Amino acid sequence: MQRCSGVPPNRLGKETTSIETYVEFGSYLLHKFLSQRFEEQKVFVEHDRECAAAFIKGFFDSEGCIDVSGRLTASNNDLALLRYVQKLLERFFGIETTGPHLGTKKGTILTRRGKSYRRNADCYCIYVRRASLPAFYREIGFTIERKKIRLHSVLSKRTIFVG
């Protein structure tokens, strides 16, 4: 089997049947910044509405879900982080949430891409109230296209002005 130049074998050291691309980059300054305690980074997140929106957008892009019924949630093991996101949503944008609620208990089995894992910690969820979905759409939104489309679709079906 031929392998594309510059593409390493998978983690088990075996050749793969598909071509995989690995991209790696580094920044000393970014590493130093992200290595700080989160408490020290909050001043940057809370600098203004735009910074808060960017932080929340990134959080919901990675940890959020909008289902076909229009339920917008975010899940994480870190209760303090979820509460912080809730605080930012309310303080900067007047977006109301509920929770955090226990979503998945520690020890349950999670299967992803055919491999099973045991959860090491409880996972909690926050929910954006339906009445706040239009404000979330206007003020925060998503970068991920499928989530952006789903939120727009949900709001269009509800005939709510989405901006």
Domain range list for the chain: 28-157
CA 61, 67, 70, 74 torsion-angle sign: negative
> Mean pLDDT, to the nearest integer, of 24-46?
85
CATH of 28-157, one of 3.40.50.720, 3.10.28.10, 3.40.720.10, 3.40.50.150: 3.10.28.10
Averaged pLDDT score across all residues of the chain: 86
List, as own/partner pairs, every contact residues 131-135 make where C-beta atoms lie below 8 angstroms and the sequence separation is at least 24, other chains included: 131/96, 132/89, 132/94, 132/95, 132/96, 132/97, 133/70, 133/72, 133/158, 133/160, 134/160, 134/161, 134/162, 134/163, 135/93, 135/94, 135/95
* pLDDT score for 122: 95
Would you state the pLDDT for residue 113? 86
pLDDT value for 118 = 94
Provide the pLDDT for residue 102: 95
Q: 100 or 5, which is more confident?
A: 100
